[in-house]
Amino acid sequence: MDNEKKKLLKPLIAEFIGTFAFLYVVTAAAVLQTGLLGISIAHLVIFTVIVYSFQTISGAHFNPAVSLIFWIRKQINTKSFVEYVAIQLTASVFASFTLSITLGKGTNLAPTLPANGMVQESFFLEILLTFILLCVILFVSQSHNRQISRGLLGIAIGSTIAFDVFFGAPISGASMNPARTFGPAVMNLNFEYFYIYVIASLIGGLLALSVFYLVKEKNQPKNNKA
């Protein structure tokens, strides 16, 4: 394999490993009933670790909604966007499959589902949670000071996800990520509410991008022409 092909594969490998690690850890924490605080801490730790590990290789997306936003911003091209989403979903299924082997057949793999039939509430909550997450990702990652943004990105995203999970998991499962929902849905053969987590995450991401552009434009320095 020549150097050019290796260069193209590196981001995809990073996205696969990061998404796999994220899905495996957080679903294991849920399946093993570590409690809401334990699940939130699991999200905080694993996402902080994988962001710092892979942000300079792939951009550390690990989420189709994030990849969509950076595709819209033309920070990745269409080919990379399709490859990123495909590899994230594949890693999600592989993580759920591996977890089922680890914990034995019959494990429900902690699917993200509306609690007690709270479908409408879950939909709007997922929009809100994804909006908060994507706002943090955009404003931190797109900071003019690259050194500061790289230093803060992992802990900022990890903390935001942990916060969202702590308050949102009892209602919607706090997915904020179609890949988080996809693997368990495939393994459990249950896609009844999958559309909620796809549509809501996309709406939340697009709203966050709109706010980012609005705030960014207002804070752009004016060009003073002589």
pLDDT of residue 148: 64
How many structural domains is the chain composed of? 1
pLDDT of residue 145: 67
pTM strictly above 0.75: yes
Q: Is residue 70 part of a domain?
A: yes
Handedness of CA 55, 58, 61, 67 (dihedral sign): positive
- Of the candidates 86, 102, 80, which has an alpha carbon nearest to the alpha carbon of residue 29? 102
Where in the sequence is the domain holding 99, given as residue range(s)? 3-218
Q: Is residue 32 part of a domain?
A: yes
pLDDT of residue 150: 73
CATH number of 24's domain: 1.20.1080.10
pLDDT of residue 223: 42
Q: Is residue 188 part of a domain?
A: yes
Backbone angles phi, psi at 191, to 5 degrees: -110, 20
Q: Is residue 224 part of a domain?
A: no
Q: Is residue 97 part of a domain?
A: yes
pLDDT of residue 218: 62
Backbone angles phi, psi at 58, to 5 degrees: -120, -10
- For helices 178-188 and 78-103, the axis angle rounded to 10 degrees is 50
pLDDT of residue 176: 98
Tell me which residues of the chain have a pLDDT lower than 50: 221-226
Q: Is residue 144 part of a domain?
A: yes
Q: Is residue 223 part of a domain?
A: no
Q: Is residue 193 part of a domain?
A: yes
- Of the candidates 57, 63, 55, which has an alpha carbon nearest to the alpha carbon of residue 26? 63
